[in-house]
Amino acid sequence: MPGEGEVPTDTAGGCKEQLRTARDMETSVGARRSIGIGLVGVGWMGRLHSKSYHQVNYHYPQLGVRPRLVVAADTAPDRVRFAIDELGYLEGTDDWRSVIAHPAVEAVNIAAPNYLHREIATLAAEQGKHFWIEKPVGRNVDETEDIARAARAAGIVTAVGFCYRHAPAVQHARELVCSGGIGKVVHVRGVFLNDYAAEPRAALSWRFQRSLAGLGVVGDLMSHTIDLLQHLVGPIAETSALTKIVIPMRPVLPMGVGDHFAVVEGGKMGAVENEDYAGALLRFGDGAVGTCEVSRVTVGPRCQIALDVFGTDGALSWDFERMNELRVCLGRSGADHGYTTVLAGPDHGDYAHFQPGPAISMSYDDLKVIEAALFPQSISEGKQLGAAVADAAATARVLAAVARSAGSGRWESVEQRRVEEVN
């Protein structure tokens, strides 16, 4: 099986090799292999992972694998009870280590706060347990590379929650870029403008504390945008960036209570320790240039994840707020030159597993179902089929350069290292 530390070909070389979609992984095998799932963290994302597993065999009935929810861990007793009563786990616990140690657990879903990621993931790897982890994988590049090294040494399969890759419109965009449909990519634009923290009374959750989250919006949102840009275009070589804390104080929220959408009236105030906004100029290894802008405090855009890719012979434009549409321009002239809106349909990526005809909307939750299909199938086949911690390490190296540049005020190079070369 390929080493986990090997940089995937789509990240290392742009479009040398297409990642398989879950549609490509169907099998006619009648008997399905059961894979025991353990969950760490029963918050919003942990619940969504669990819900997605329940949907896998409905949307991918020919897959030769069936996820089985075994045990869930959380420090909040009501969440543990929810995992058993509503999500369908057979057991619950307040000790995440017992999830990894459980003999019926073959794969672990890590949906805990960032500061726990390295400890959980490395222990899972040492115990030979495959894992699906949310981004950012580590609070910084060193933690992320530690996790990638541990996974590679253990020879396990991993998955990372870069779910926007799986939007059928994005899958189609990648096919057009890789096939040369828009010519050579010249410049790009990526944004992730979100308002989840635009309210000054939004709680000071762990996401705003450097010791618990690491980077702020750079790790939380820019990780998605950088992954998408590298997935479509190829590796980023250097960056010049700036960051800003827009709302410096927020009301404190105890750990395990509410979520990062919670609004608190009154109460003790605490300092925001990491950035609310970041903007970066980018240079890609193949000569393309671009920009990336992210914010968690915008007023106006609600969840605008947008990509523009401009080539010598065309252009592509996608916005998550209109997830099922891709604006496409092919060619440089003609009476009808310009963008045409292509509506997602059965010819695009995994769309046919969710809707029978074109222009019927898919959702964010569907993107997690695609991940939930790719991960156990990767385990069953013993090969890496989706985004892995090596991809997260490649993204983390860009984010580290962004953070360095914001501090130095200079262009900073992105280290292009293979995980096995990291000392």
User: What pLDDT does 14 receive?
Assistant: 65
CATH architecture of the domain with range 165-358 = 2-Layer Sandwich (3.30)
Predicted TM-score of the model (pTM): 0.91
Helices and strands (H, E) in the chain, number of each type: 12, 17
**8 A C-beta contact, residue 160 and residue 135:** yes
Give residue 268's Cα distance to chain centre. Answer: 33
Query: Which token pair is 422?
Result: 């990291």
Q: Report the distance separating Cα 207 and Cα 223, nearest Å.
A: 14
Query: Which token pair is 111?
Result: 């949906």
User: What pLDDT does 10 receive?
Assistant: 41
Percent of the chain with pLDDT over 90: 84
CA angle 159, 209, 40 (to 5 degrees): 35
- 360-391: string of b/e by CB count within 10 Å (b at 16+)? eebeeebbbbbbbbbbbbbbbbeebbbbbbbb
Instruction: Give me the DSSP letters along 32-86.
Output: PEEEEEEEE--SHHHHHHHHHHHHHHHH-TT-SEEEEEEEEE-SSHHHHHHHHHT
Domain with CATH 3.30.360.10 in the chain: 165-358
Summarised one tens digit per residue, pLDDT across range 267-277 is 799 999 999 99
Summarised one tens digit per residue, pLDDT across range 3-58 is 433 334 344 446 755 455 555 555 434 567 999 999 999 999 999 999 999 999 99
Query: Which token pair is 377?
Result: 């199938």
Summarised one tens digit per residue, pLDDT across range 161-196 is 999 999 999 999 999 999 999 999 999 999 999 999
**Does the N-terminal peptide bond of residue 8 adopt cis geometry, omega within 30 degrees of 0?**
no
Summarised one tens digit per residue, pLDDT across range 354-368 is 999 999 999 999 999
CATH of domain 9-164+373-387: 3.40.50.720
Residue 265 CB coordination number (10 Å)? 6
User: What pLDDT does 24 receive?
Assistant: 57
User: What pLDDT does 267 receive?
Assistant: 79
Of the two residues 262 and 212, the one the predictor is more confident about is: 212
Give residue 227's Cα distance to chain centre. Answer: 8
User: What pLDDT does 336 receive?
Assistant: 75
| The residue type at 98 | S
C-alpha closest to that of 177 among 362, 377, 318: 318
**Summary mean pLDDT of the chain:** 91
Residue 312 CB coordination number (10 Å)? 11
The backbone torsions φ and ψ at residue 96, rounded to the nearest 5 degrees and listed phi first, read: -65, -25
Domain with CATH 3.40.50.720 in the chain: 9-164+373-387
Summarised one tens digit per residue, pLDDT across range 269-301 is 999 999 999 999 999 999 999 999 999 999 999
Q: Report the distance separating Cα 241 and Cα 6, nearest Å.
A: 28
The backbone torsions φ and ψ at residue 192, rounded to the nearest 5 degrees and listed phi first, read: -140, 95
Q: Report the distance separating Cα 42 and Cα 26, nearest Å.
A: 30
User: What pLDDT does 5 receive?
Assistant: 38
